[in-house]
A and B are shown apart, each in its own frame.
Chain A
Amino acid sequence: MKQARTKGFRTALPFLLPSLAGFILFSILPIIGTLFISVTNWDGLSELTLVSDFPNFMEKFFVGFENYQRLFQSEVLYQALFNTLKFIVMYIPLMLVVSLCVAAILNNKVKGVGFFRIVYYIPVITSWVAGSLIWKWVLNPQYGILNSILSKFGIQGPQWLQSAKWAMPAIVLASVWKDMGYFGLMFLSGLQGINREYYEAASIDGANGIQKFFKITLPLLTPTIFFVLIISLINSFQIFPQVMIMTPNGGPGGSTMVMVELIYKYGFEYYEMGIASALSWILFVIIMLLTFVQMKFQKKWVNYDD
């Protein structure tokens, strides 16, 4: 494509200035700042002279890798990672199945399908604060609607958010409810990208519905499945509002304490900015690795239609 006449940097600068300023102040500075603070024991209360007086600041607060060492030797980090793992193991399979069902339902040309699409997406547009409060009340062991429904089937519902065993499954339920429309619509666009002719050809060859699903739909949907998988993995490491609101203070027995909540606690409750920053970097590295996996292997997984 032919570009507009060369105008040079001076023409571009006024247009770029706001985004450059924001990029430096709110993206670059924070991410590099975290790295430096993570090797100090700065408390967040005494003045931060990281930029204006770097040598003095480092001399005063530098502790080397002590924060990382402390974290890797203590239980809190492993507990948060273990809780995240618990979340992932339950959330991802359930979310995949439910959102594939959502997509399968919406992928029909039947009257009223547009209405259902609108309805399924409402939890996605709802804030997590409202969503968490609603679910907290739905899950109330005594007066909540879920245990009331369960009791109609003769099931004695658990204590949900008050129980160390059931708090995380409860958070998973709420999260699947909140996200199924989002990932469902992602799968829907994946399904709609599959060429109809494949199905017609398979029908002529006498393939049944199950064969068509496993031989056509699933292979051609793998890129979407992979994309959703990675995105939801990345999101799983970052869950915050639902755990913070539904189960404050890490939940019963710390069973729902996750990474972001840990960072928040160390930063704004214990004022251990060094530890909080070290945790931020650990989380950052995990997310970068997942993003890298996505970019690296996407090509391998992709089944190009045509």
Chain B
Amino acid sequence: MMTDVIKKKRLIFKILFYVFAVLVAVIVCVPFFWMFVTSIKSKGALMLLPIEWIPKDPTFDAYRKLFTIPNFGTSIINSFYISIIGTVLRLLFAAMAAFALTKIQFKGRGVIFGLYITALMIPAQTTFIPLFIVMGKLNLINNLNAFLFLQLFNAFAIFMMRQKMMTINDAYIEAATIDGASMWKVFFKIILPLCSGTLATLAILSFMELWNDYLLPLVLLTDRANYTLPLILNSMQGQYSNQYNLMMAGSLVSIIPILIVYIFAQKYFKEGLTVGGVKG
């Protein structure tokens, strides 16, 4: 008797769980579904009433046209350029800084780390005007390499790398230096491999941030030939207003690389979520 009641309770609970879980999933997915459906509609089918949930004549015209838009192809390359090279540089410089801040003793180490952490609190949204000016002085306006230079210092990445390196036993380093290894060799051959998990998590967060960024490219890039994918997408609003099949196809194309990384790097993503909280 008793077990029957419990079983029944469990079943009701399970059903409730799936009802709510599916409901939320539908809310999340409907906009994406709408994006996909729109992207395979012809221009004429966009303005049909009642609206077509499933297009009667699906077509890939929008995707074909997308790649004839001036600079669309280049913008994908530009986005990959700053996202991949930028990520590599960010990780390298952050790891170097964290190495100096944890494994080399010198006067003023605490002060430097304190200053770096303070920088975590300065959002880009408040400093993009003077950043534009500084980049102007460095001749880096309308230059994709500006985004590579910005990777010299990333407070969040340094903070994360420092957290990780503090857990590494100094005995490794001592053993290596006694054997005559230079600090660079210690850094590249011993420390970096031991940090691979954190590096992977940071790489994903960094790639995502650089790939999706809008404000800084908007401020720093002025010429269409240098636009990143988000900027080209944004500019399509003016040129192809109401051609939503084109804009939805473009949006879908822009999401795919991130989605692939997301699905294949689930493990590192999971770790990134909880640590990413520091950043907001």
Quick check: is B273 within 8 A (CB to CB) of the other chain? Answer: yes
Instruction: Tell me which of B53, B112, B263 contacts A16 (CB under 8 A).
Output: B112
* Number of CB contacts from chain A to chain B under 8 A: 285
- Mark interface residues in B226-252 (1 if CB within 8 Å of A CB, else 0): 000011011001000000100110111
B280 and chain A: residue at smallest CB distance: A231
Given contacts A108-B17, A130-B254, contact A15 B129 (CB under 8 A): no
A22 at the interface (CB under 8 A from B): yes
Asked if A4 contacts B174 (CB within 8 A), the reply is: yes
Which among A11, A37, A125, A138 is the interface contact of B130 at CB below 8 angstroms?
A37
Other A-B contacts than A16-B100, A120-B25, A182-B273, 19 sampled, CB-CB below 8 A, are: A1-B166, A3-B103, A18-B96, A19-B97, A22-B154, A33-B133, A105-B20, A110-B14, A113-B21, A125-B262, A127-B214, A128-B214, A130-B230, A133-B247, A134-B31, A145-B34, A260-B125, A264-B128, A273-B129
A288 interface neighbour in B34, B53, B121, B133, Cβ under 8 Å:
B121
Q: B194 at interface (Cβ–Cβ under 8 A)?
A: no
Residue A142, interface by CB 8 Å: yes
Q: A125-B262, A177-B31 are in contact. Are A137 and B150 (CB under 8 A)?
A: no
Which A residues are closer than 8 A to B by beta carbons?
A: 1-9, 11-13, 15-16, 18-23, 25-27, 29-31, 33-34, 37, 44, 48, 101-102, 105, 108, 110, 112-113, 116, 118-123, 125-130, 133-135, 137-138, 140, 142-145, 148, 177, 180-182, 185-186, 189, 227, 231, 234-235, 238, 240-241, 244-245, 248, 259-260, 263-264, 267-268, 273, 276-277, 280-281, 283-284, 287-288, 291
Cβ of B215 under 8 Å from chain A: yes
Q: A30-B130, A30-B131 are in contact. Are A130 and B251 (CB under 8 A)?
A: yes
A283 engages B125 (CB within 8 Å)? yes
Nearest-Cβ distance from residue B243 to partner chain A, whole angstroms: 11
The 8 closest A-B pairs by CB, nearest first: A22-B153, A22-B152, A127-B212, A30-B130, A15-B100, A19-B97, A130-B251, A33-B130
Residues of B within 8 A of A108 (CB): 17
Judge whether B93 is part of the interface by a CB distance below 8 angstroms: yes
Are B149's CB and A22's CB within 8 A?
yes
User: How far is A87 from B55 in the complex, measured between Cα atoms in Å?
Assistant: 36
The CA of A18 and the CA of B119, in the complex, are separated in Å by 15
* CB–CB B152/A129 < 8 A: no
Q: B21 touching A19 by the CB < 8 A rule?
A: no
Task: Give chain A residues whose Cβ lies under 8 Å from the Cβ of B130.
Answer: 29-31, 33-34, 37, 277
A143 and B125 contact, Cβ closer than 8 Å, known pairs A127-B212, A137-B248: no
The answer, among A8, A121, A140, A245, for a CB contact under 8 Å with B234, is A245
B17 touching A127 by the CB < 8 A rule? no
In the assembled complex, how far is the CB of residue B238 from the closest CB belonging to chain A, in whole angstroms? 9
**Dominant secondary structure at the A interface:** helix
Assess the B94–A19 pair: CB atoms within 8 A. Answer: yes
CB pair A29 B31 closer than 8 Å: no
Q: Given the interface contacts A125-B258, A145-B51, does A9 sit within 8 Å of B107 by beta carbon?
A: yes
Measured between C-beta atoms, what is the minimum distance from B110 to chain A in Å? 13
Check B152 against A125 for contact (C-beta < 8 Å). Answer: no
Question: Could you say which residues of chain B place their CB within 8 Å of the CB of A263?
Answer: 125-126, 128-129
Q: Is the CB of A4 within 8 A of B177?
A: yes
Assembly CA distance A247 to B105 (angstroms) = 52
B158 at the interface (CB under 8 A from A): yes
A residues in contact with B31, CB < 8 Å: 123, 134-135, 138, 145, 177
Q: How far is the CA of A25 from the CA of B247 in the complex (A)?
A: 37
Residue B219 at the A interface, CB < 8 A?
yes
In the bound complex, residues from chain B placing their C-beta under 8 Å from that of A48 are 133, 136-137
Query: How far in angstroms is the closest Cβ of chain A from B266?
Result: 7
Which of B96, B100, B107 neighbours the largest number of chain A CB atoms within 10 Å of its CB?
B100
Q: Is the CB of B127 within 8 A of A9?
A: no
Of the candidates B30, B183, B237, B254, which one forms a contact with A127 in the assembled complex, judged by CB atoms under 8 Å apart? B254
Q: Give the distance in Å from the alpha carbon of A27 to the alpha carbon of B274 in the complex.
A: 26
* CB-based nearest A residue for B172: A4
Nearest chain B residue, comparing its CB with the CB of A142: B49
**Chain B nearest CB, measured from A155 CB (Å):** 15
Contact between B153 and A21, CB atoms less than 8 A apart? yes
**Distance between Cα atoms of A128 and B177 in the complex (Å):** 48
Q: Which residue of A lies closest to B262 (CB)?
A: A125
Asked whether any CB of chain A lies closer than 8 Å to the CB of B54, the reply is no
Q: Which residues of A have CB within 8 Å of B50?
A: 148
Complex: how many Å from CA A177 to CA B28? 7
Instruction: Give chain B residues whose Cβ lies under 8 Å from the Cβ of A105.
Output: 17, 20-21, 24
Cβ B20 vs Cβ A101 within 8 A = yes
Docked-complex contact B116 and A125, CB < 8 angstroms = no
The reply to whether B21 and A25 form a contact with Cβ atoms under 8 Å apart is no
Q: Do B104 and A7 have beta carbons less than 8 Å apart?
A: yes
* Distance A296 CA – B16 CA, assembled complex (angstroms): 41
A16 vs B121: C-alpha distance when bound (angstroms)? 21
Residue from the list A11, A118, A121, A268 in contact with B183, Cβ < 8 A: A11
In chain B, positions 137-156 with a C-beta closer than 8 Å to chain A are 137-138, 149-155
Contacts of B108 in A (CB 8 A): 9
